[in-house]
Structure 1
Amino acid sequence: MDSTVAPERRRAQLWVLTATHAANDFYTGAVAALLPFFVLHAHYSYAAVAGITLAATALSSIAQPGFGYLSDRYGLGWISLAGLLAAGAGVALSGFFSSSYIVVWVLIAMSGIGVAAYHPAATMQAREAGGGTTAAMSLFSVGGNAGVALAPAAAVAVVGAFGLRGTGLLIVPAVVLALAYFVVARHQLFRRVKPRDVAVAAHTDLRDDWRAFGWLTAVLATWSVAYVGTSTFVVLYCVARFHSTPDYASIALTVFPAAGAVGTLAGGWLSDRVGRLPVLRCGYLAGVGGIVAIVLAPSPLVVFVATGALGLALFAPFAGQITLAHSYLPNRIGVASGVTLGLTLSLGGVVSPLLGMIADGVGVRWVFVILAALLAVGFGTSFVLAERAPAQIEVVDVPGDAEAASATSVT
């Protein structure tokens, strides 16, 4: 970040970025919240709605590292706003075409690509604005939790009032927050940024550790399946097992990310003090317990409580996982962000159709048994990981092709 930018403006940028993150991830939550209505009103099967989850994530899983590479190579901060608007447009239009599964699939896929485009550039911007600390990253991350938490109530309200065509109103958060961030940080959105000098990057402490990053990605893959699987099936689980109405069951989709927001903030604070890996391991282990509690729950109310505990546990390591990825790939912050925030989250969506087939075949309850087992594997694999001190990262603003205007260090 340009050293001439005042601390007050940096804080303002971080807070507005956090709000745009809320708007962006609102659409991920909206997709999950709309699934029961596609089942009830458009008569989609469990496998079909799991396919919609796949649409929201599959292309995103491919595109996200690519957007991360572009963010590393060219800056292109404006991609974050373009992605936010695409994410909103896809979800907003989906309800108008519920009679055509293929069109809905394409629109949700467009939304997923928008979410993918947003994350790497926005994460790099948040890293600069917040000084690279885990606590600052947890604040940015919690915006995503807040957006996902607000989505079910908004989706239920618009569909309840206007039917599936009410999804058109869901475009409002994208437009409002995109405009707000453009006003606050337009100078950051349209500058070109290049990585620090390659000769500096050749220093031993600053080399990219792809092996460690690969192990971290494997751990995060189990997190992804647990997160996406819970988001996709917890409402359907309550409807199928306890005959809850979708409106009542959707409380779980509010509790899950709301508790996750608390976990993200607390986990970021703890990670800066006791270390990222202890928080990660405790979170994964507690997450296994939360999923087991969902499986054994005797009532929807207990499911809601257990889902809240699961959200708290899963998101406690979230910001630490991002900064750990940055420390493993200090020269590829965009790629690290793209994989950590996108590819690993999307892997859960890729698995969702298989989970949907299992739910159709033997019941939704067995989906959560599988999720608990996978998260336990992630906990065990995490012991391969090691802490790595964050390196200083220089960001060079390039107003033209020939010369750099300024440079500053961000830890």
Structure 2
Amino acid sequence: MTLAPPPTAPTRSRAALWALTATHAANDFYTGAVAALLPYFVLHAHYSYAAIAGITLAATALSSIAQPCFGFLSDRYGMRWMSLAGLLVAGAGVSLSGMISGSYIAVWLVIALSGIGVAAYHPAATVEAREAGGGTSKAMSLFSVGGNVGVALAPPAVFLVVGWFGLAGTGLLIIPALGLGALYAVVSWRDLFGSHHTDVTTTSTPTPTLPDDWRAFGWLTAVLATWSVAYVGTSTFISLYSIERFDSTPGQAAVALSLFPAAGAIGTLSGGWLADRLGRLRIVRAGYLAAAFSTLAIVLAPSALLVTVATAVLGVSLFIPFAAQITLSHSYLPNRIGVASGVTLGLTLSLGGLVSPLLGQLADRTNLQSVFAVIVTLLGVGYAMSFTLKERQA
């Protein structure tokens, strides 16, 4: 089974790319909503740090297995409808979580269901975005920034619904999935359900000129593992860090959590543009180095305000390499674009989620400052390993 590098996107493809960007915002809104709900589970449902890290694990553990599987299915059978179905499942799980917060097991299960939905969305949608955008880092950064926007919008949305209606108000969070899912279904009905996508093995596309380089992809995966822990660890604990260390209110602490992905949107767009002009590897290495220093600033910050500023800088730094890492994965596995997307995007949540309970236990035994000290170290390791990566065109 092979996939060819996509052609330059025509007008209709650009419209599809923007529609996909909107659904990416809606899908990753639910990732951000899980993180934004954690302080409320601590304050109102009295969950421990280890327990709320377990919720993060629920959102990501099955996803770590499912995303490459969904990627394989995308490569083998097309199944573009998975992007829409995944979005709806992701929304349903999060919207139910606050309504059943009295039962930790029930919350864990519906958040796990939401994670499966996120896993189903990403590979199919990323393949579509690659085709619509011509395979450039700039186009991929536009699609990726939709995720940043969605995550950034989640904390204020959660603050509003929980503030007005309590945890039971999370039922209203299904609205982005229903609204943008319906819009995308109208715009891309034929792409989602047309017969020409039922089995992509029957298409007559030229074979990529390069074989899959699994060794290079393995090194990229190792680098991404450190990125994943930094991203998920920051999303999970940054609000609680401000509350624990500086006695911030949940509303004040949510500012840093919202700025993190919002700044990440700037990093994603600028990183994609710079990667096409300066080279992907330079951008990846610069991003990891800057992220390590900005996380160190969080550890040493003397006030909640400086934590917020440092978190914004971290958001920019951490997402500068994002689009370049995705297109690198595609160049390493040109014959397995769906699998490459599933592993690459899955790692942004999954491996970090698997480690988050350990970070939660560390926080329970020491403090949250120790968690961010660990993240500094891991980002330094990621920077060092990035020098094992090589450029490749496919």
What TM-score do the two structures reach when normalised by structure 2?
A: 0.96
Is residue 7–residue 134 contact of structure 2 (8 Å, CA) maintained in 1? no
The separation in 1 between residues aligned to 2:51 and 2:376, in whole angstroms, is 24
Match of 1:177 in 2: 180
Match of 1:213 in 2: 217
- 3-state DSSP class of the match of 2:80? coil
Match of 2:40 in 1: 37
The separation in 1 between residues aligned to 2:383 and 2:212, in whole angstroms, is 24
The separation in 2 between residues aligned to 1:326 and 1:195, in whole angstroms, is 18
Is 1:292 aligned to residue 296 of structure 2?
Answer: yes
Provide closer, same or farther for how the CA distance between residues 185 and 369 of structure 1 changes in structure 2, counting only shifts above 3 A: same
Percentage of pairs with the same residue: 70
Per the TM alignment, residue 145 of structure 1 is displaced from its structure 2 partner at its CA by 0.1
Deviations 1:200-230 (A, max 9, x none): 64x7x42000000000000000000000000
The separation in 2 between residues aligned to 1:162 and 1:344, in whole angstroms, is 31
Match of 1:106 in 2: 109
Is 1:88 aligned to residue 91 of structure 2?
Answer: yes
Match of 1:263 in 2: 267
Is residue 233–residue 375 contact of structure 2 (8 Å, CA) maintained in 1? yes
Per the TM alignment, residue 5 of structure 1 is displaced from its structure 2 partner at its CA by 11
The separation in 2 between residues aligned to 1:200 and 1:125, in whole angstroms, is 18
Is residue 225–residue 348 contact of structure 1 (8 Å, CA) maintained in 2? yes
Per the TM alignment, residue 12 of structure 1 is displaced from its structure 2 partner at its CA by 1.0
Is residue 195–residue 331 contact of structure 1 (8 Å, CA) maintained in 2? no
Is residue 123–residue 342 contact of structure 2 (8 Å, CA) maintained in 1? yes
The separation in 2 between residues aligned to 1:323 and 1:5, in whole angstroms, is 15
Q: Which amino acid aligns with 2:75?
A: D
Per the TM alignment, residue 193 of structure 1 is displaced from its structure 2 partner at its CA by 4.5
The separation in 2 between residues aligned to 1:304 and 1:44, in whole angstroms, is 25
Deviations 1:342-386 (A, max 9, x none): 134310000000000000001010000000000100000010110
Match of 1:402 in 2: none
Is residue 8–residue 133 contact of structure 2 (8 Å, CA) maintained in 1? no
Match of 1:385 in 2: 389
Is residue 101–residue 167 contact of structure 2 (8 Å, CA) maintained in 1? yes
Is residue 65–residue 343 contact of structure 1 (8 Å, CA) maintained in 2? no
- 3-state DSSP class of the match of 2:349? helix
Is 1:194 aligned to residue 196 of structure 2?
Answer: no
Match of 1:231 in 2: 235
Match of 2:255 in 1: 251
The separation in 2 between residues aligned to 1:115 and 1:280, in whole angstroms, is 25
Match of 2:49 in 1: 46
Provide closer, same or farther for how the CA distance between residues 45 and 174 of structure 1 changes in structure 2, counting only shifts above 3 A: same
Provide closer, same or farther for how the CA distance between residues 51 and 70 of structure 1 changes in structure 2, counting only shifts above 3 A: same
Match of 1:396 in 2: none
Deviations 1:167-212 (A, max 9, x none): 00000000001100100011111222425889964x7x42000000
Deviations 1:111-151 (A, max 9, x none): 00000000000000111111111100000000000000000
Deviations 1:284-310 (A, max 9, x none): 000000100000111111001000000
Is residue 62–residue 343 contact of structure 1 (8 Å, CA) maintained in 2? no
The number of aligned residues is 387
Provide closer, same or farther for how the CA distance between residues 147 and 73 of structure 1 changes in structure 2, counting only shifts above 3 A: same
In structure 2, stretches of 5+ residues that fail to align are: none
The separation in 2 between residues aligned to 1:323 and 1:36, in whole angstroms, is 35
Per the TM alignment, residue 8 of structure 1 is displaced from its structure 2 partner at its CA by 2.1
The separation in 2 between residues aligned to 1:196 and 1:284, in whole angstroms, is 41
Is residue 224–residue 347 contact of structure 2 (8 Å, CA) maintained in 1? no
The separation in 2 between residues aligned to 1:246 and 1:58, in whole angstroms, is 27
The separation in 2 between residues aligned to 1:111 and 1:4, in whole angstroms, is 34
In the alignment, which of 327, 332, 336 is matched to residue 328 of structure 1?
Answer: 332
The separation in 1 between residues aligned to 2:53 and 2:198, in whole angstroms, is 39
Q: Which amino acid aligns with 1:56?
A: A
Is residue 217–residue 344 contact of structure 1 (8 Å, CA) maintained in 2? no
What TM-score do the two structures reach when normalised by structure 1?
A: 0.92
Is residue 61–residue 344 contact of structure 1 (8 Å, CA) maintained in 2? no
Provide closer, same or farther for how the CA distance between residues 195 and 345 of structure 1 changes in structure 2, counting only shifts above 3 A: farther
Is 1:13 aligned to residue 16 of structure 2?
Answer: yes
Q: Which amino acid aligns with 1:234?
A: I
Deviations 1:274-328 (A, max 9, x none): 1100000000000000100000111111001000000000000100100000000
The separation in 2 between residues aligned to 1:70 and 1:275, in whole angstroms, is 31
